Amino acid sequence: MPSDAARQPLVAIIGATGTGKSELAVALATRFNGEVINGDAMQLYDGLPIITNKIPFAERKGIPHHLLGVVGLQEESWQVGTFTRTALNVIEEIRSRGRLPILVGGTHYYTQSLLFQNAIADDIKEQDVYDLSEEDKILKWPILGKPTDEIMARLKEVDPVMADRWHPNDRRKIQRSLEIWLKTGRLASDIYAEQRKRRNVTALSSGSMNGEYLSAKALEAENTEEEDHLSGLRFPTLIIWVHASPEILKARLDNRVDKMVQEGLLSELKTLDHFSQGQEAEGKAIDKTRGIWVSIGCKEFEPYMSARRSSSMPDEELENTRLAAVEQTKAATRQYAKRQIRWIRIKLMNALSAAAATGYIFLLDGSDATDWSNKVEKPASELIEAFLKGKTLPRPASLSVTAEEMLVSTRNYDVSERRDMWVRKSCQMCGLTATLEEEWIRHLKSKKHRMVAKRKARAQVRESSALDHN
């Protein structure tokens, strides 16, 4: 590794939940004198190791793990910017010890915000309000605490482009867009536009030569070029995507939920429930739409926990409620895994493409757990060793048939950057609002819309017939 700590590489391990990212990180940290940085939003919270799926201490094998259990239940949940700045400090500390930082990302928008320069975060960071709590934000800007329709009305006044981008009920995104303007004095739509322009400049001005992919040193040089390349990678980065086939992953995730229940999931949910009841008794409201409260299992077990509190449900019905919650938790976990993969294949792949860095993400298929060493750990080690030594890396798609198939974006654009695709259309019959043209077309073709349209047409015929009869 280069002697200059500021120029040392970063390794990022990504993939769906249940694919073995944490285990791989420990193995690689052991081999390459590394330390692990948690990139999972739920694992930031203190305690609750089962709900948050923290790697047990024994399995960490003495490797330092950072940003695990650093936020208390009573504390304000972290925003992406807070995570990014804290993680950057941790990376600097790890490098000061001459060690390799290894990021393990479960919450991929956290990971992506850390990997890439972000114009919006940089602009906000310049203000002295970056770390305000939700309560302090509302004290400073009361509009952020108003009903969603009032926040939307204000956003329409100052930034109609972003107002048209969001669904009228998407409070978090509406609030965030207005917050950017309040904090920076700049429109979020303008900042996004500048970011797109910078990415285009990067894509045109950098890339691979003669079909070969650059080494860590070459990528390092790219990242020290003009300041305009703000949407490129922050550091020379090698990304390892740990993958498993859908069938294998489904079975693993179902088994993991069963194991979580056996090891004390309900006990941790009781802890959360008691905390919630205590806060409410003190008159402190808890926003259960964010933070630890949106971890998988909380919402799914809420009917069961509520029934236990009331003690009014017969034992047999209570057990059926528990079993239903287990199945719902399994389904929610599988859906989360699918969302993680979609994020990688759309958001991350397009960001890497824009930064001319698609040669630095390698998919390793860990479907066969019995051959983990040969299929995942060994090739990951070889890739990192070549990367750190400045050797030319192989073509990512050449590693396997699965890699060739998956390392292609399922959509060659990021909707958030295609303003021409932003629309706002409402279906009065169904009470639905679409914010993208493809969503609107999909709704018009949906079974629900066709059934509602037929019912309305029949009703209109009946009304017309009744008028004619009269």
Alpha-carbon span 59 to 363, nearest angstrom: 24
Alpha-carbon span 412 to 410, nearest angstrom: 7
Per DSSP bridges, beta strands 34-38 and 65-66 are parallel
The C-alpha angle 38, 41, 47, rounded to 5 degrees, equals 80
Alpha-carbon span 429 to 236, nearest angstrom: 52
pLDDT at 2: 37
pLDDT at 470: 62
Answer for the pair 81, 125: CB distance below 8 angstroms, yes or no.
yes
Q: What residues does 65 pair with on adjacent strands?
A: 36
Alpha-carbon span 218 to 34, nearest angstrom: 22
Alpha-carbon span 188 to 177, nearest angstrom: 6
Smallest Cα–Cα separation from 32: which of 59, 2, 1, 3? 1
Three-state DSSP state, 400: coil
Answer for the pair 377, 24: CB distance below 8 angstroms, yes or no.
yes
Smallest Cα–Cα separation from 136: which of 71, 67, 172, 183? 183
According to DSSP, residue 11 is labeled E
In terms of DSSP H, where are the helices of 33-101? 57-60, 80-96
pLDDT at 199: 56
pLDDT at 331: 96
User: Residue 236 has which token pair?
Assistant: 């020379």
Alpha-carbon span 138 to 234, nearest angstrom: 32
Task: pLDDT tens for the chain, 470 residues: list them.
Answer: 333 333 689 999 999 999 999 999 999 999 999 999 999 999 999 999 999 999 999 999 999 999 999 999 888 788 888 899 999 999 999 999 999 999 998 898 899 999 998 645 544 443 434 456 677 788 889 999 999 999 999 999 999 999 988 888 888 889 989 998 998 888 988 887 776 666 555 545 544 333 334 444 444 443 333 333 335 899 999 999 999 999 999 999 999 999 999 999 999 999 999 999 999 899 888 888 778 998 999 999 999 999 988 888 899 999 999 999 999 999 999 999 999 999 999 889 988 988 889 999 999 999 999 999 999 999 999 999 999 999 999 999 999 999 999 998 665 555 555 555 666 788 888 887 777 777 778 888 888 888 888 888 888 877 777 776 66
- pTM of the predicted model over 0.75: no
pLDDT at 439: 75
According to DSSP, residue 374 is labeled I
